[in-house]
A and B are shown apart, each in its own frame.
Chain A
Amino acid sequence: MSIPLVINLRPRLLILLAMALLTTNAHATATGPVVRLFPTTVLEDIRETGQAAEAMENSLQEVIGRLDLQQQLFSESLCDGADGDQGCDRIAKQLGATYLEMLNIMSDGLPDMERAVDSTRRSLEKRLREELGQRTTPTMLQNTLLGEVSATPQTVRPALRGKSGIRLSGRFKQYYDLVATHNNGPSQSLAVVAADIYLDMEEASMLIAATQQEISRAALMEQLNQSFGLITPEMSAVVSGVKEILFGEAMTNAPIAAPPNAVGETDFVSPLAM
């Protein structure tokens, strides 16, 4: 069944969260080529991705609430394994119908997400190629990664990734607001941030496309399941996954694309040092 693909989308979408936060560094450094990795166009792409996420959220919120109630009813009615019980069959069919509704909403919303993600990916690709690929030497790149502009005080900002309990669109808005209004953020390796986002956007684009292709098949499978009144474990998993993505519930701790640790240099500096 196609549902695992839908589930696989989750970490990619979580990356979108990180993407928005990571761009809080866009104005962090005043000099060097890296600052140009996040021009206004990229920020605008991020804002649009947030809007697409918000639209999907809003449209899914009601149906997921219904799914929750139906699932709870199914569970409290001890319908698990109760084959042949008419009441349970009815609940199962209702659940399946709501699930189909959710798939349709996702199917409607994904093209906008796809466009937003692809736009971010393409604009970042251009910036990476020009700024890090063509205008930067390996030596400069290494210096950039090490954050030669150090000792900038850390400012309060949201955690990069992890359990937040914040809605996807809310995080995007929060990050965008930070980027748009904050000019003296911490000095961090924007190159890493841009690279991380770009690679994730690439993967997200592919997964969204694959998911779109599979949704229709998933819907068909569910329509068939409707005939038998089944609730598949995959249905539950998908619903949980969508909730995690959109509403920040029980989000997993993804690895953080952190800049190098700001550990102070030792006092001694060799005349041989690079």
Chain B
Amino acid sequence: MSRITISAVFITATLVLLGACATQPVADVCTGKLPGNLDRAISEVEHRLRQGCDYHFNAYFTSLLAIAAENPDRDNPRRFSDHLMNVQADGVISRRQASALYNRFFNVKFVSFTGDYNTCAQACPVRTQILTDMRAELTDKEMGLVKVSDDPERFYRADNLFLEADLVLEATCRACQGGRPSPDELASRNR
């Protein structure tokens, strides 16, 4: 094979490789600064996710919340809902993940206090853990409902719900135990 032919093959191969690289996300595409406007930031995030930056989804979501907190608006939950629906439609996250994320930040109800089995069987054995998770979720709800959505009334409802869940769980779980403190309750007291 002549030198010219070898050179041609080499150049062609290089071009093909470079072309292939062009379809992969590069660091700048995935990590660049997002616009300060929430709608534009959401569009940008969705664009990047479609470019293959899936693994940045959580960071993007956090960034979007921070941008939204700078622009609190009662309509922001709708923006986030639409965004999560789009991202789910693109296959970046599942429907369940989208729902969990939305409800964690923008719903009064607690994702961490759900279940399909009876309370005595499902919630009471892990009551302390449920309350710990709910407390953490309440912090996220403060972000979503107060800072992002400017809707403190709904956050107060969530806060109230948390306190009531604590009270009702304590009473119900004790009743499940026939009036005795549950093992979980005793363990939390001893800690």
The interface of chain A, by Cβ under 8 A from chain B, is: 121, 124-126, 128-129, 132-139, 141-143, 145-146, 189, 191-192, 194-196, 198-199, 202, 257-261, 263, 266, 268, 270-274
Contacts A133-B172, A133-B175, A270-B102 known; 5 new A-B pairs at CB < 8 A: A132-B175, A133-B173, A138-B123, A141-B168, A198-B175
Q: Is the interface of A mostly helix, strand, loop or mixed?
A: helix
Which 4 pairs show the lowest CB-CB distances between chains A and B? A195-B171, A270-B81, A128-B175, A133-B120
Measured CA separation A262–B114 after assembly (Å): 22
Interchain CB contact under 8 A, B119 and A133: yes
Interchain CB contact under 8 A, A270 and B114: no
Interchain CB contact under 8 A, A145 and B122: no
With a cutoff of 8 Å between Cβ atoms, the chain B residues found around residue A195 in the complex are: 167-168, 170-172
The segment out of B3-11, B49-57, B58-66, B151-159 that lies at the interface is B151-159
Shortest CB–CB separation between residue B73 and chain A, in angstroms?
Answer: 11
Measured CA separation A132–B98 after assembly (Å): 29
Which listed residue (A263, A270, A274) contacts B109, Cβ 8 A?
Answer: A274
Measured CA separation A263–B156 after assembly (Å): 9
Q: List 6 A-B contacts (CB under 8 A).
A: A129-B175, A132-B119, A133-B173, A133-B176, A134-B119, A139-B113
Which listed residue (A128, A259, A268) contacts B172, Cβ 8 A?
Answer: A128
Measured CA separation A146–B165 after assembly (Å): 10
Interchain CB contact under 8 A, A125 and B175: yes
With a cutoff of 8 Å between Cβ atoms, the chain A residues found around residue B81 in the complex are: 268, 270-272
Q: Known contacts being A142-B161, A145-B164, is A272 close to B119, with CB within 8 Å? A: no
With a cutoff of 8 Å between Cβ atoms, the chain A residues found around residue B116 in the complex are: 137, 139
Which listed residue (B123, B153, B168, B174) contacts A145, Cβ 8 A?
Answer: B168
Among B102-130, those with CB < 8 Å from A are 102-103, 106-111, 113-120, 122-124, 130
Which listed residue (A125, A137, A189) contacts B117, Cβ 8 A?
Answer: A137
Does B75 interact with chain A (Cβ within 8 Å)?
yes
Of all chain B residues, the one with the shortest Cβ separation from A194 is B171
Number of B residues contacting the other chain (C-beta, 8 Å)?
A: 49
Measured CA separation A44–B168 after assembly (Å): 23
With a cutoff of 8 Å between Cβ atoms, the chain A residues found around residue B174 in the complex are: 125, 198-199, 202
Most buried by B among A138, A194, A263, A271: A138
Measured CA separation A266–B155 after assembly (Å): 12
Measured CA separation A268–B151 after assembly (Å): 13
Interchain CB contact under 8 A, A137 and B179: no
Interchain CB contact under 8 A, A137 and B102: no
Of all chain B residues, the one with the shortest Cβ separation from A125 is B175
Does B72 interact with chain A (Cβ within 8 Å)?
no
Interchain CB contact under 8 A, A202 and B179: yes
Measured CA separation A86–B167 after assembly (Å): 55
Measured CA separation A125–B176 after assembly (Å): 8
Does B37 interact with chain A (Cβ within 8 Å)?
no
Most buried by A among B124, B151, B179: B179
Shortest CB–CB separation between residue B166 and chain A, in angstroms?
Answer: 9
Does B99 interact with chain A (Cβ within 8 Å)?
yes
- Chain B 127-156, CB-CB to A under 8 Å as 1, else 0, gives 000100000000000000000000101101
Shortest CB–CB separation between residue B38 and chain A, in angstroms?
Answer: 15
Interchain CB contact under 8 A, A138 and B103: no
Measured CA separation A137–B109 after assembly (Å): 14
Q: Known contacts being A139-B116, A145-B168, A261-B156, is A129 close to B110, with CB within 8 Å? A: no
Interchain CB contact under 8 A, B164 and A266: no
With a cutoff of 8 Å between Cβ atoms, the chain B residues found around residue A202 in the complex are: 174, 179
Measured CA separation A154–B65 after assembly (Å): 37
Most buried by B among A128, A257, A259: A128
With a cutoff of 8 Å between Cβ atoms, the chain B residues found around residue A142 in the complex are: 109-110, 113-114, 161, 165
Of all chain A residues, the one with the shortest Cβ separation from B77 is A268
Most buried by A among B78, B111, B118, B124: B118
Interchain CB contact under 8 A, A138 and B168: no
With a cutoff of 8 Å between Cβ atoms, the chain B residues found around residue A268 in the complex are: 75, 77-78, 81
Of all chain A residues, the one with the shortest Cβ separation from B117 is A137
Which listed residue (B74, B102, B109, B120) contacts A129, Cβ 8 A?
Answer: B120
Shortest CB–CB separation between residue A255 and chain B, in angstroms?
Answer: 10
Shortest CB–CB separation between residue A22 and chain B, in angstroms?
Answer: 13
Q: Known contacts being A132-B168, A142-B113, is A137 close to B119, with CB within 8 Å? A: yes
